Amino acid sequence: MRQRRRFDREYKQMVIELANTREDISALAAELDLRPDLIYRWRREALANDGASFPGQGNKMMTEEQKEIARLKKELRDAQLERDILKKAVGIFSRNDGKYSSL
């Protein structure tokens, strides 16, 4: 089994610059011992994120608005989980079977 290789941001940017100057991406990929589709993907990511690509460690680059939305979504999930737990607790304690009443 081959170990997964990791490439730092500078290396990816260098490969993208080389790919932009060459016409044959397959030849460049062979020279660098990379798959051509990997170079194409890096190039797409760099164009899509306007230079803010490749943050490292699987972290996505997010705008301030996206960060706020993610924070609010997490807060909503937590509140919904809390609500569901409380609903179950109310259901358990409000049963009329006499287990939980003082009568």
18-37 tens-digit pLDDT: 998 888 889 989 999 999 99
Residues 29 and 72 in one domain: no
**pLDDT per residue as tens digits for the range 75-98:** 999 999 999 999 988 888 887 655
- The answer on 66 and 55 residing in a single domain is no
Residue 100 lies in a domain: no
pLDDT, the chain, mean: 82
53 and 15 in a common domain:
yes
Q: What is the DSSP letter of 6?
A: -
pLDDT at 71: 92
**How long, in residues, is the chain?**
103
Query: Would 53 be classed as within a structural domain?
Result: yes
* Average pLDDT estimate for 55-83: 83
CA-wise closest residue to 18 among 2, 6, 30: 30
- Residue 101 within a domain: no
pTM exceeds 0.75, yes or no: no
Same structural domain, 68 and 54:
no
Q: Look up the domain containing 42 and give its range.
A: 7-61
- The answer, yes or no, to whether residue 58 has pLDDT greater than 90, is no
Q: DSSP assignment, residue 94?
A: T
- Higher-confidence residue: 10 or 81? 81
Residue 2: inside a domain: no
Percent pLDDT > 70 in the chain is 81
Asked if the structure places residue 86 within a domain, the reply is: yes
Q: Are residues 26 and 41 in the same domain?
A: yes
Q: Give the Cα separation of 79 and 92 in Å (integer).
A: 20
pLDDT at residue 100 greater than cutoff 60: no
